[in-house]
Amino acid sequence: MTSPVPTSATTTRRLLVLASTLFAVIIGQAQIFMGWGQSPAEFAADSDATLRVAGFAFAIWGIIYAWLLVYAVRQTLPATVESPLLKVLGWPSIAALLAIGWWIVAAALDWETGTIVLIFGALLVLLIPLLAKAAAIRALPRGDPDRWMTVWPLALLAGWLSIAAPVNLLTVVTGNGDLPAALPPTGWAILAVAVVAALALGVTARLRTPAFALPVAWGLIGVFSAEQPRNAVLAFTALAAAIAVLIGAVILVFRLAPRVRAAPDHVKADTSAPSR
């Protein structure tokens, strides 16, 4: 069911989506141009001895921010009807957008615990409702605006956060000397790569959209590029995982329709006898 006329509560939520999106975008750009505190790149490079992502990979934020602005601006248009997905994903998206904006502040101030809480919180608050509404997302027609202007921007953000979060965690625990000795650093990094790749394929299997898997594959390519000069085992593990995620996503999203099973012999029409 959809409501053509937004209520006052709906209008408030939509305006908060726009405000939180603008906050996330503006705070990120302000940190870069004003140079206060550590940049996200400097924060990530501070203790990246366990798992490193090449700087070019973070350019994906430009695409994510642009798509999030489309998501937010669309909701302010009077012609946009209130769909079930907009209603369910609206408040979680506000929480996630505020979290990624405050993450920039936490990283600039080197508040390490805060960065972990904020990035994992942003991931979970998006991923849980996306998976809860997986059946509705799978049922969306290919050209449905909610598919391209709601699911895609939020799934792209969640996908990137799914690889950024473990990198953030490993960076902090490595810098503090708290990396558990149960595995060597390369072992922890490979485990993180494997978990991220498995999560990408699992989410894609549920949503049947490549939006979550694409930023994961991109991030793993960034790991391959950064780690190749210093840790070939980790680098090529990340490359293999990226390829697996891409191929797996294509198969899951665009898989062939199941073949029509032949009718059992006892129900087949007897075409050998002439009709009467």
User: pTM value?
Assistant: 0.88
CA 210 to chain centre: 10
Look at the chain and report how many structural domains it folds into. Answer: 1
Tokens linked to 45: 């490079």
Within a 10 A sphere around the Cβ of 126, how many other Cβ atoms? 25
| Residue 4: per-residue pLDDT | 56
Tokens linked to 87: 């209603």
pLDDT for 265 beyond 70: no
- Give yes or no for a contact between 118 and 90, defined as CB atoms under 8 angstroms apart: no
Helices marked H in 208-258 — which ranges?
213-227, 232-254
Full residue range of the structural domain in which residue 248 is found: 8-43+52-254
Please enumerate in sequence order all residues whose Cβ is within 8 A of that of 50, keeping only pairs 6 or more positions apart, or say none. Answer: 170, 171, 174, 179, 185, 186, 188, 189
How would residue 259 be classed by pLDDT, with cut points 50, 70 and 90?
Answer: very low
| Residue 250: per-residue pLDDT | 96
- Rounded (5°) CA angle 253-200-119: 135
Q: Which residue has the tokens 């906050």?
A: 23
Specify the DSSP class assigned to residue 151. I
Distance CA 102, CA 115 (A): 8
| Residue 211: per-residue pLDDT | 97
pLDDT for 209 beyond 80: yes
**pLDDT tens figures, 93-133:** 999 999 999 999 999 999 999 999 999 999 999 999 999 99
Per the domain annotation, does 276 fall within a domain? no
- Give yes or no for a contact between 81 and 59, defined as CB atoms under 8 angstroms apart: no
Per the domain annotation, does 263 fall within a domain? no
Counting residues of the chain whose pLDDT is more than 70, the rounded percentage is: 90
**3-class DSSP assignment, residue 3:** strand
How would residue 36 be classed by pLDDT, with cut points 50, 70 and 90?
Answer: confident
Per the domain annotation, does 106 fall within a domain? yes
Per the domain annotation, does 174 fall within a domain? yes
- Give yes or no for a contact between 160 and 60, defined as CB atoms under 8 angstroms apart: yes
Q: Which residue has the tokens 């939520």?
A: 13
- Give yes or no for a contact between 74 and 138, defined as CB atoms under 8 angstroms apart: no
Nearest CA-CA partner of 193 in 171, 224, 172, 230: 224
**pLDDT tens figures, 266-276:** 444 444 444 44
**Mean pLDDT in residue range 189-202:** 98
**Mean pLDDT in residue range 231-252:** 97
Q: Which residue has the tokens 């006052």?
A: 8
| Residue 45: per-residue pLDDT | 78
Per the domain annotation, does 259 fall within a domain? no
Q: Residue 97 is which amino acid?
A: L
Per the domain annotation, does 2 fall within a domain? no
Q: What is the dihedral of CA 141, 143, 149, 152, to 10 degrees?
A: 60
Per the domain annotation, does 240 fall within a domain? yes
Tokens linked to 80: 């946009």
Per the domain annotation, does 269 fall within a domain? no
- Give yes or no for a contact between 118 and 164, defined as CB atoms under 8 angstroms apart: no
